Amino acid sequence: MQISELARRTGVPVATVKYYLREGLLPQGELTGATRARYGEDHVERLRLVRALLGPGGLSVARARAVLAAVDTPDTSVHAALGAAHRALPGVGAEGPADLEQARSVLRRRGWRVAEDSPALVALAGALEALRAAGAAPTDELLDRYAEAAGRIGEQDVAEVPTGSVAEAVRFVVVNTVLLEPVLLALRRLAQEDASRRRFPGDC
Amino acid sequence: MQISELARRTGVPVATVKYYLREGLLPQGELTGATRARYGEDHVERLRLVRALLGPGGLSVARARAVLAAVDTPDTSVHAALGAAHRALPGVGAEGPADLEQARSVLRRRGWRVAEDSPALVALAGALEALRAAGAAPTDELLDRYAEAAGRIGEQDVAEVPTGSVAEAVRFVVVNTVLLEPVLLALRRLAQEDASRRRFPGDC
DNA sequence: AACTCTAGAGAGTGTCACTATCCAATGTCG
DNA sequence: CGACATTGGATAGTGACACTCTCTAGAGTT
């Protein structure tokens, strides 16, 4: 198919498809002449993935490129792909060396072991720092309960990774890591709304 | 204190403080003359809150203004403040009427009741739509497990709301709703990293 | 008197994700 | 065959956003 059909089938403007091609988010089509290229079903699928990462996933073009690079590298291990996805996710704008102590203590109590320079660890420390700066320092009890719930989810995420092929597993990890975040946040808000309705009945 | 000291104490440039004043994120200081105004401790605290919402909280200036409006309205009910915070949060770029069915079915199974036009519900539907578009449609089992974990957290969030004064409660709700999201996401990523290390041992 | 600081307003900056325009070279259709 | 549309590729422009800079007149400080 030509670029116009690729654009039509995905609802993405042609100019934008060209932009993604230039930015390396979408592989080049097969050139059939100096002014013609052919695109296939895999381009449709890839383009949809790109749009999902950029839109709901909330990634920047640069971060999406990094994520997709992991998807495209055939010899990536699953664990490495997870790391790549985590590095690509917007953590908290790490300014200066945040205080990692409270973050580490949560991990210790849970028995979790992660890389020394894990971006998620830095992100957690930054988020805690922000809470303290806003005058709402979280207690260890609160963090532990959050960690327990998060642990259940993370455990399940990893357990579900398919073992068929590495490429399939890597794609699964990347998509689920990024695109299930908004799902989790939305569910938390819905749970809050329901709990709030029950606790403050008069306010509806 | 003067604006320069307010800026120095919070580490925010004077020009930026002025910008926040203009945008209505920070209340005006008490004018002591045509070219002088006085700021107090509450301004320091508010400015830190603004920075937390804009930075780690990930809110835009417009959304932060909406959130702070709820904090500033003295007769806000706690439930309404939660709603205001939810509306201000970036959901998923709601394009067109997404399919709410799967989202609603999760709520039904959990017994949660929320407003018909709850922004969180729309956000959930949008996030599910994105997953389907990316070719990774989530199963109901997966959603239920996510919902169970999210329910635990949302329940706790609401249970912890202080009952002293409405103003205090509203501030608590807003801060925790917004600033605990990055904490939850970071903890999930850490749990994934730990689980991944255990499941794919060779890859570290 | 010299100097620094202020409030307030307007304009400028850098980044980002597109979006529009051009060009020459093909395709396609009648 | 020829009119017309489309393409790849490159360059430039756009609009939103969060600052950031500059300017002015006035006021406090030394």
Assigned CATH class of A1-54: mainly alpha
pLDDT tens-digit map of B41-52: 999 999 999 999
Token pair of A53 as six digits? 């990462």
Cβ neighbors of A61 (< 8 A, separation 6 or more) are: A23, A25, A54
Q: Do A196 and B172 touch (CB under 8 A)?
A: no
Spatial neighbors of B111 by CB under 8 A, at least 6 apart, are: none
Which residues of chain B have a CB within 8 Å of the CB of A203? 77-80
Residue A96 has pLDDT above 70, yes or no: no
Supply the pLDDT for residue B92.
Answer: 61
Q: At what angle do helices B119-133 and B101-110 cross, to 10 degrees?
A: 120
Helices (H), B39-118: 41-54, 61-72, 78-88, 101-110
pLDDT band at A95 (very low <50, low <70, confident <90, very high): low
Q: pLDDT tens for residues A133-164? A: 999 999 999 999 999 999 999 999 999 999 88
Q: Cα torsion at B43, B45, B46, B48 (round to 10°)?
A: 120
pLDDT at A59: 94
CATH 1.10.1660.10 domain locations along chain B: 1-54
| Alpha-carbon gap, residue B204 to B196, rounded angstroms | 10
The Å distance, CA of B161 to C1' of C4, is 47
- The pLDDT value recorded for residue A92 is 61
The Cα A204–Cα B118 span in angstroms is 12
Query: What pLDDT digit, counting tens, does each position of A27-61 carry?
Result: 999 999 888 999 999 999 999 999 999 999 999 99
Q: Are strands B36-38 and B30-33 parallel, antiparallel or unpaired?
A: antiparallel
Among A100, A109, A91, A89, CA closest to A151: A109
Mean pLDDT value across chain B = 92
pLDDT for B89 equals: 86
Question: Residue B91 — φ and ψ, nearest 5°?
Answer: -80, -145
Minimal Cβ distance to B147: which of A78, A126, A187: A187
**pLDDT tens, B4-18?**
999 999 999 999 999
Q: For B45-93, how does the pLDDT look when each residue is reduced to its tens digit (9 = 90+)?
A: 999 999 999 999 999 999 999 999 988 987 778 899 899 889 888 876 5
